[in-house]
Structure formats: C-alpha cells, structure tokens
Amino acid sequence: MTVEEIQKKLETLGVPADRSLLVASQLDKRAAQFVEQKKMTREAAEQYLIGLMAQGWAAPKLPS
C-alpha cells in the first residue's frame, strides 16, 4: 500500500483527517521495520499494524 492508501484506511477507522497522514507515515515506517526484524512481507506487516489500530491496541491507555 502507498502511504496515501494507508491514510485513507486509517481515516475509515476514525483517525482524524488532520493527523492521518502523520500516522500513516509512521505506520509505513514501522511496517518496514517489521519486514527487516520479523521477516514479514510488507503487506502482512501493514495489515497487522492496521489491525492493531482497528482494535484500539495502538491507543494510549489512561491511568485508572
């Protein structure tokens, strides 16, 4: 996926449009790291990370 495609996908998940490009760029960079470190394909890494975002695992947790 291109960064722009990732950006559009993130916006459908609720990432604000004014932040979606930055988040997409960071996700793209992290996917590249997964390719090197975990020997994943680029597509698998992107889907994994987008899946985490969709589940809310990437959101910071507030203290109880």
DSSP 1-63: --HHHHHHHHHHTT--HHHHHHHHHHHHHHHHHHHHHH---HHHHHHHHHHHHHHTTTSPPPP
**Is this model's pTM higher than 0.85 or not?**
no
Structure tokens at 19: 């932040």
pLDDT at 51 over 70: yes
Domain extent, residue 23, equals 3-55
Position 56 scores a pLDDT of 80
Q: Phi, psi (5° rounding) for residue 15?
A: -70, 130
Is 64 domain-assigned?
A: no
Q: What gap in Å lies between CA 18 and CA 3, rounded to an integer?
A: 15
pLDDT digits (tens, 9 = 90+) for 5-48: 999 999 998 889 999 999 999 999 999 999 999 999 999 999 99
How many domains does the structure of the chain reveal? 1
Q: What is the DSSP letter of 48?
A: H
Position 22 scores a pLDDT of 96
Is 61 domain-assigned?
A: no
Is 60 domain-assigned?
A: no
